[in-house]
Amino acid sequence: MPDLGWNDFDTLESYIANEQRKYPESRGIFADVVRRIGIASKVVAVKVQKAGLLDVLGSHGAHNVQGEEQQKLDVIANEIMKATFEWMPLVAGIATEEEEDYTVYPPKPENEGDRYIILFDPLDGSSNIDANVSVGTIFSIHRVEGGGYRTKLSDFLQPGKSQVAAGYVIYGSSTMFVFSTGFGVHGFTLDPEIGEYVLSHENIRVPDQCTCFSANEANYKKWDEPTQRFADHLRYGDDEIYEITTSRYIGSLVADFHRNLLHGGVFMYPADAQTGKGKLRLLYECAPMAMLMEQAGGMATTGRERIMDIVPTELHQRVPVAFGAVREMEMYEGMVAEADEQ
């Protein structure tokens, strides 16, 4: 057998197939959903890598449900992701950051079993695109009843702990597909020579050492007192654990989260103390990232409750969020609880 240089690696394809073989009763539908997200992300990666050349930078003129001016690549990535699932028997519906309403695909006769809904942010961090900062696609997969059942809004409003899979693709110095199906977090790096995602980071564990604090510190004055106290402790505290803790924040969730997942650290987008609201969306940003952080041994909290326990009340709901190792997250929750008792 000629040494092709890659045949001793697990590709995303072979990894999914191996995992599926562990469940003989599996119909392979779920595996196919993950596989197709991988394919869609390769198409998005090509567009992102060529963004500067294909004049797809700059705003599209339209605005998404968040009132944010849509960058052209946002719209292109959204269309690519939707096209991947449209009219497919395996997917009951999708919801995307770029659209007000969810989309339901009518059940197909051949589809008697459970089906899946996909919630995604097709290109998170897009305001950074023209500055060539890493951006990403974030996805969350839930299961819904199969057969003739008509998918409805409540099927999309499931808590993060019901996710069957979650992940992101980061379009950076390399393109990486990072996901979990509840059995750890695994990273696959796209090998452009063979066009395959190759297993590069098996069973990622978030380091205990908090090497960085990652938040938009321009908002410090908007944070409530325990949040300010927590941030001060990490940055200025005399606790020697945090002597090497530095600040890193690039304003692209996938890039900031990925760095902390691999190198350790706290990422937070706290609530504005006046409104009590956070900025990041629960269903297709915080919940999928929370699954990954927990699967990697960390925690994801609002400061008062586990992100994965929150039962959504609306599709584009925003929540305050902090991701990190258990020690820092428990410290933060303790400071918030102490302040709440006063």
Applying CB under 6 A, among 59, 103, 209, 216 the residue interacting with ligand P6P is 216
User: Edge-to-edge strands of the sheet including 321-324?
Assistant: 246-247, 212-214, 266-269, 321-324, 299-301
Query: Does 317 interact with ligand P6P (rule: CB under 6 A)?
Result: no
Applying CB under 6 A, among 127, 200, 228, 317 the residue interacting with ligand P6P is 127
Instruction: Select from 76-84, 106-114, 195-203, 250-258 the region that touches ligand P6P (CB under 6 A).
Output: 250-258
CA separation for the pair 250, 44 (Å, rounded)? 21
Q: Are 169 and 34 in contact (CB under 8 A)?
A: no
Dihedral sign for Cα 306, 233, 326, 133, please: positive
CA separation for the pair 232, 100 (Å, rounded)? 38
Applying CB under 6 A, among 27, 47, 205, 279 the residue interacting with ligand P6P is 279
CA separation for the pair 286, 100 (Å, rounded)? 18
Measured from the CB atom, is 251 or 334 closer to ligand P6P?
251
CA separation for the pair 12, 35 (Å, rounded)? 8
Query: Does 253 interact with ligand P6P (rule: CB under 6 A)?
Result: yes
Query: Does 125 interact with ligand P6P (rule: CB under 6 A)?
Result: yes
Shortest reach from residue 267's CB to ligand P6P, in Å: 8
Shortest reach from residue 258's CB to ligand P6P, in Å: 11
Query: Does 187 interact with ligand P6P (rule: CB under 6 A)?
Result: no
Query: Does 251 interact with ligand P6P (rule: CB under 6 A)?
Result: yes
Measured from the CB atom, is 98 or 124 closer to ligand P6P?
124
Query: Does 229 interact with ligand P6P (rule: CB under 6 A)?
Result: no
The closest alpha carbon to 260, from 307, 217, 214, belongs to 214
Query: Does 252 interact with ligand P6P (rule: CB under 6 A)?
Result: yes
DSSP lists the bridge partners of residue 169 as 137, 177
Shortest reach from residue 100's CB to ligand P6P, in Å: 17
Residue type, 29: I
The closest alpha carbon to 258, from 166, 169, 132, belongs to 169
Binding to ligand P6P, residues 6-45 (CB under 6 A) = none
Binding site for ligand P6P (CB under 6 A): 124-125, 127, 216, 251-253, 256, 279
